[in-house]
Chain A
Amino acid sequence: MFELLFGNAFWFSSTPLLLVGLLAAVVVLAWDWRISLPALFLVQLGVGQLAVQRSLMPEEWSRVLAWVVVACLLILVLSLLQSNRPAPVGQLGTIFFRLLLLGLAAFLLGSAEVGELLPLVDGAMARLLLWAAFCAIFAIANADGALESGLALLLWLIGTEAALIAVAPAALVVVLLGALFLLVTLACSYLLVAENVALAEENYPVTDISFPVDTFDNLSIRQPAETTPLGQRFATLRQRIASLKILTQRILAQRGNQP
């Protein structure tokens, strides 16, 4: 039974690709560490096993990377327990909106020709790796918190590991990938502890366009910092228009009096 479910034939069918792809999407859709962390571990196991079955990666290296991912997830959990985070940071829209965006991306990826993009990787596997990388970029683009960004970066590394080891099967690449997994996780877990959600929710310029509020207060040092109510501004504008009208009438009257 086990052989039937998880034998060689199973790994070469489309079922594991779909399952791993769905798990990668769950990391983005759930936006909750209790679901994302186990899903990420399963994605790593799935990608590793698929890569081994397709001779993209030796089995030993797949095992090493799986243990590295376990260590990374444990580091994140430890930091998570030390930090006091009430809610995920930087969640984009509702789950249905994210589902719609991912569905659109899946449709585009399904219809695109990706065979040549990743050398030595067959079309179906290339689609899976690109899908994982897309999910990671989608999460990176939306995440503002250290945990969500850390998970997204780990998903990005998982998505790229099989393709990189396939094209450059050197121990140095595995060491580099392992070191990246660990150092990125350590950096994110450090930031997770340092992150203060109360401060993060204060007015803070997320992009260049949304300048800080005090920008407008400081435009002139002569003006008081208090903001003028909108109605009062309109009142000033009306007064100015009225005085302009009086001025114009006076000038016209003066011209009319001239011979």
Chain B
Amino acid sequence: MISLPFPLFLPTILLLLALLVYLFRRMEQVTSATAGLVVGGLALWLLGDSPANGLVRLLGTLVQVDMRAEVMSYDLLFHLTPNVAPILALTLLLTAMALLLSASVGQGRSFAPFALVLASGYALLLLLADAPISPELLLPGFLALLAALGVYILQAGQLGQILGPLRSLLPPLLAFPLFILASWHIDSLAINPQDSVAGAAAARFLALGLLLLLAPVPFHSAGPATAENAPPIAVALLTLLYQLATLTLLFRITTLYPFVAELSGQNLWLTAAGLVTAVWGGFAAVGSSHPGRLWSYAMLHDWGLILLMLAAPGDTSWSLVLFLFSLRVISVLAAAAGLAYLRDAAGSLNPARLRGAGRSAPWSTSAYVLGGLGLAGFPLSAGFTGHWAALQTVAENDWRVAAAVLLASGGVVVGFVRMIRILYDPQTPPSISSERLMRGLIAITAILIASGVAIAPQLLNGPIAWALMAFRG
């Protein structure tokens, strides 16, 4: 009987798929769609079945599927547990959605193969269960490797500005040594639990490392710079995968090393970072007339609110964080779907070229605006319920913080109102051709999903309850 170590089988399959997609990269639409369907199928399989060891009939042969895999030469153990499965499924689902979206609007020939390589890397990162150093403290190093791979799909072969992809390398690369230094202090703490100096040093290193990884203001500069030039779907995929991984890392570190939160004043710095990020995102959105930058500032504002919720006391904090993150995924992908078409049709995201584009591409423009407004928690957009629930939680502790975030949301809305006036400018003849039926259908689907979640947020109850399994230790 053949034994199949699933934690290694999954990344290998993704890498082989990446190789195939790369070989047939000239048929971009077909390969992206096929890869999206395969990855989506894998995600749905993980969503449907609780992973467990067992026998599976594969091509007429009985195969023993093992959820553990060891790499003896480096003392690494990969393990797919029920706790990891939801995050892994979400990672694959995000990749699948990005691949399917890129099948309709090209994101560059390198997008599909690199997206698959990244999905494979994130899968390995999430499945790592044991290593010579605590796996949680190694993760930032792997994140830095994945950030270096992400550069290619952000630049997408364009000549010109490179600031965004270059800056995206910085947070994980600067943060990873701090985690390895912390590991030494944590090991000393295991030998002598009374060693308060080691505990304080570890807490300091980990807090600083986490702060860098979470990339609040002022470490956010990669976001707007990237969104200005890079393909929107690539930006959405990389941002969401990275942030999902950092949230998972934060949860694991908080659970495994509870002294870190206590000794580093985690709630305080998370509140400060979240508030500054949310407010700065709103403030910067007021002055931004570039659609890519505006979208990025809206994302920054939303991320600030998520950071604020991470600092909120109580057991409901993580469920609210997951709720906000789910709404963020819907809003970001809806906006990316719309923006990708506008970029494709106009050749760039230059606002001068996009004047009046909304009259030629009404559905894509609406998807972009609705997704962007969702990130500000505007009524009847996907983010509305999450933002109000979060604001209520924040206001229970300090109403002034909630008021500041609300004002900042107003800034994002003002930015999008100006953008609507630019995109639907009645005086300028649109420079782009009319929206194709297929593109219109994709944008309409994005709008329907975003509106559906806005009207009936309880639709997300099931997926969030399932995803919470990953955040319950």
A binding-site residues for B, Cβ under 8 Å: 116, 118-120, 137, 140, 144, 146, 149, 153, 156-157, 160, 163-164, 167-168, 170-173, 175-176, 179-180, 183-184, 186-188, 190-191, 194-196, 199-200, 204-208, 211-212, 214-215, 218-221
Give Cα A65–Cα B148 distance, bound, in whole angstroms: 19
Hey, which chain B residues are within 8 Å of A149, CB to CB?
A: 166
Partner of A180, one of B148, B224, B287: B148
Given contacts A173-B133, A204-B161, A208-B280, contact A156 B174 (CB under 8 A): yes
Q: Is B404 on the interface with A (CB-CB < 8 A)?
A: no
Given contacts A191-B155, A208-B280, A215-B287, contact A180 B144 (CB under 8 A): yes
Hey, which chain A residues are within 8 Å of B352, CB to CB?
A: 214
Hey, which chain A residues are within 8 Å of B421, CB to CB?
A: 220-221
B159 & A172 in contact (Cβ 8 Å cutoff): no
Q: Is B183 on the interface with A (CB-CB < 8 A)?
A: yes
Q: Is the interface of B mostly helix, strand, loop or mixed?
A: helix
Give Cα A188–Cα B173 distance, bound, in whole angstroms: 13
B170 & A140 in contact (Cβ 8 Å cutoff): yes
Give Cα A118–Cα B151 distance, bound, in whole angstroms: 31
For the complex with contacts A191-B151, A196-B159, A205-B228, 17 further pairs of A-B residues with Cβ separation under 8 Å are A119-B188, A140-B170, A153-B169, A156-B174, A163-B181, A164-B181, A170-B133, A175-B74, A179-B145, A180-B141, A184-B169, A194-B157, A194-B158, A195-B162, A200-B161, A208-B221, A221-B425
16 contacts between A and B (CB under 8 A): A116-B201, A137-B174, A146-B162, A163-B181, A172-B138, A175-B74, A176-B141, A176-B142, A180-B144, A190-B155, A191-B166, A194-B155, A194-B159, A194-B162, A218-B418, A219-B418
B binding-site residues for A, Cβ under 8 Å: 74-76, 131-133, 138, 141-142, 144-145, 148-149, 151-152, 155, 157-163, 165-166, 169-170, 173-174, 176-177, 180-181, 183-185, 188, 197, 201, 221, 224, 228, 280, 284, 287-290, 293, 297, 350-352, 355, 418, 421-422, 425, 427
Hey, which chain A residues are within 8 Å of B159, CB to CB?
A: 194-196, 199
Given contacts A172-B76, A214-B351, A221-B425, contact A119 B181 (CB under 8 A): yes
Q: Is the interface of A mostly helix, strand, loop or mixed?
A: helix
Hey, which chain A residues are within 8 Å of B173, CB to CB?
A: 153, 156-157, 180, 184
Partner of A205, one of B142, B180, B280, B293: B293
| Nearest 9 Cβ contacts at the A-B interface | A167-B184, A183-B148, A170-B132, A187-B151, A160-B177, A199-B160, A218-B289, A191-B162, A208-B284
